[in-house]
């Protein structure tokens, strides 16, 4: 979909990538399940390399993830924090850097603005860079579900659907909003992102 690519000239060199977590960075725990303990968190092969490459290419990386298991009382905020700290440490050790992690821990139906496909977390991430939501049109949103693609679309990002998580091409057939790109995993998505200079 080369024709959908946006010229980056004059954007001040802004490079931003928003990533879902489960199914993109780490292995998807299964429908209805959550990563509740550190021993259940396993990086998808190639994910650490992808994060290193994005960092080397000077992309600002944000994780935006729905983690309603906290709101449901399935696991605690402290356990989620522990998993996150360890994830960030391992990413850093591998040469990558995640700028900030945004979780929505609310249950669905609460009406918050942070639960994807709402874009409150995208707005907050851009705010850290003194950018408005209009800057999202120069960003990528990578996810493994329809909700992720909708969130990226709602924010105005270019979207990449990865096949390493919950949903696959069969699910995508019924989606009203289709992704701009499809990739096997985050490593392949990174190739798309870093080559998107036309």
Of 6, 23, 21, nearest in space to 184 by CA: 23
Of 38, 39, 41, nearest in space to 21 by CA: 41
113 catalytically annotated: no
Of 22, 144, 148, 180, catalytic: 22
Answer for the pair 128, 91: CB distance below 8 angstroms, yes or no.
no
196 catalytically annotated: no
Of 11, 20, 185, 196, catalytic: 20
Q: Return the bridge partners of 17, or none.
A: 61, 140
Q: Return the bridge partners of 183, or none.
A: 162
Q: Return the bridge partners of 61, or none.
A: 17
**Catalytic machinery residues:** 20, 22
């Amino acid at each position: 979909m080369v024709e959908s690519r946006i010229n980056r000239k004059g954007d001040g060199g802004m490079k931003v990538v928003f990533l879902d977590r489960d199914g993109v960075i780490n292995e998807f725990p299964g429908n209805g399940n959550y990563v509740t303990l550190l021993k259940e968190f396993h990086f998808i092969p190639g994910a650490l390399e992808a994060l290193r490459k994005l960092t080397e290419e000077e992309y600002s990386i944000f994780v935006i993830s729905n983690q309603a298991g906290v709101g449901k009382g399935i696991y605690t905020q402290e356990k989620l924090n522990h998993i996150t700290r360890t994830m960030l440490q391992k990413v850093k050790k591998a040469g990558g850097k995640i700028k900030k992690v945004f979780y929505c821990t609310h249950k669905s139906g609460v009406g918050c603005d942070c639960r994807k496909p709402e874009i409150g977390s995208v707005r907050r991430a851009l705010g850290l860079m003194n950018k408005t939501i209009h800057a999202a049109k120069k960003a990528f949103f990578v996810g493994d579900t329809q909700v992720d693609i909708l969130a990226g679309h709602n924010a105005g990002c270019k979207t990449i659907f990865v096949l390493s998580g919950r949903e696959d091409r069969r699910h995508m057939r019924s989606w009203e909003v289709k992704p701009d790109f499809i990739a096997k995993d985050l490593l392949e998505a990174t190739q798309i992102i870093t080559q998107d200079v036309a």
